[in-house]
Structure 1
Amino acid sequence: MNPPDEIRISALRLSTHIGVPEAERASSQVLEADITLRITGRFEAMNDDIAATIDYAAVASRLQTLAAERPRKLIETLAAEMAACLLDEFHASGVTIELRKRILPDTDHVAVRLVRGI
């Protein structure tokens, strides 16, 4: 059996208020997300019809809106909310999300990664 076809969005910038200390949540931060959406069908079966696929521009916009909706303490929480949104609203058969935050000194970033669905 062939692996599912995927749509990837790399380094999507998300503006949000996030962090455990209240002072950290007070200012907006920019996180980066890599999103992989798995689809139920094959690209060949789409017949060049946008209605047969997942609109990645709509996905990017929706995730940016979701991230900005409210403050959160944990990037883990935001990643889980993003996955639920993609599975529910965009009917992906599966999703992988890596969410990165530049916060620790002497590191490029910290990241969480989750896989949901197929």
Structure 2
Amino acid sequence: MTPLDEIHLSALRLTTHIGVPEEERAGSQVLVADVVLRVRSRFEAMNDEISATIDYAAVAARLQALAAERPRRLIETLAAEMAACVLEEFGAAGVTIELRKHILPDTEHVAVRLVRGD
């Protein structure tokens, strides 16, 4: 099977209220996401038409809005919601999301990674 072509959104900043302790959720935090969108058509079959691909600017804006919609305790929850959004609203064949939170001392970040779809 031929691998699907991909669009990468690297280091997308998401402002949200997230964390297990209520005090942590009280203030906004910036999480960083790498999002890989797997498209249904090969790039050469798109004939330079935006309607044949996934509008990555729209995806970025939608994921930023999703993150800001409501507080959550777990980054795992947000990552799963982001994946479902991309698959359902943008028709991606598949998605990989790595979501990073800068929270623990002596670490660069904590991350979760999920793969959904094809």
Give the structure-2-normalised TM-score. Answer: 0.99
Residue number in structure 2 paired with 1:67: 67
- Give the 3-state SS of the residue equivalent to 2:3 in structure 1: coil
Whole-angstrom CA distance in 2 between matches of 1:18 and 1:48: 39
Residue number in structure 1 paired with 2:83: 83
Q: CA shift at 1:41, angstroms?
A: 1.1
Whole-angstrom CA distance in 1 between matches of 2:51 and 2:92: 13
Whole-angstrom CA distance in 1 between matches of 2:104 and 2:48: 44
- Give the 3-state SS of the residue equivalent to 2:37 in structure 1: strand
Q: CA shift at 1:40, angstroms?
A: 1.2
Equivalenced residue count is 118
Residue number in structure 1 paired with 2:41: 41
- Give the 3-state SS of the residue equivalent to 1:36 in structure 2: strand
Structure 1: segments with no counterpart, 5+ residues:
none
- Give the 3-state SS of the residue equivalent to 2:76 in structure 1: helix
Kindly report the root-mean-square deviation, in angstroms, between the aligned alpha carbons of the 2 structures: 0.4
| Equivalences for residues 1-118 of structure 1 within 5 A | 1-118=1-118
